[in-house]
Amino acid sequence: MGDRRMIFDDISKLRGTILYRMGELQLTYEKLAERADVSPKCIRNYTSGEVERPRLDIFLKIMNALEFDIWLEARLN
């Protein structure tokens, strides 16, 4: 698949990434929700803009279900 590094400093990037990857994997809201162990409504809320501040646990479930590897990096100021 190659190296795709993304920084989610803007929630719209997260929405777009979820929708794009759903298309790549040919996943419906229901199938992604099943894979992520969340409700289809939760997926719709994340992709529609209803969620302004994603919860880390839900974010990780969705990204894992979309077959992304996640690295968290601390910013030291």
DSSP string for 16-48: HHHHHHHHHHT--HHHHHHHHTS-HHHHHHHHH
Confidence band, pLDDT 50/70/90 cuts, at residue 74 = confident
Domain 11-65 CATH (choose: 1.10.3720.10, 3.40.190.10, 2.60.120.1440, 1.10.260.40):
1.10.260.40
* DSSP classification of residue 53: S
Determine whether 59 is exposed, middle or buried from the number of CB atoms within 10 Å of its CB (0-12, 13-18, 19+).
middle
The yes-or-no verdict on residue 70 having pLDDT over 70 is yes
This prediction's pTM: 0.79
Q: What is the pLDDT of residue 52?
A: 80
Q: What is the pLDDT of residue 30?
A: 98
pLDDT for 6-56, tens place per residue? Answer: 555 666 778 888 999 999 999 999 999 999 999 999 999 989 988 888 888
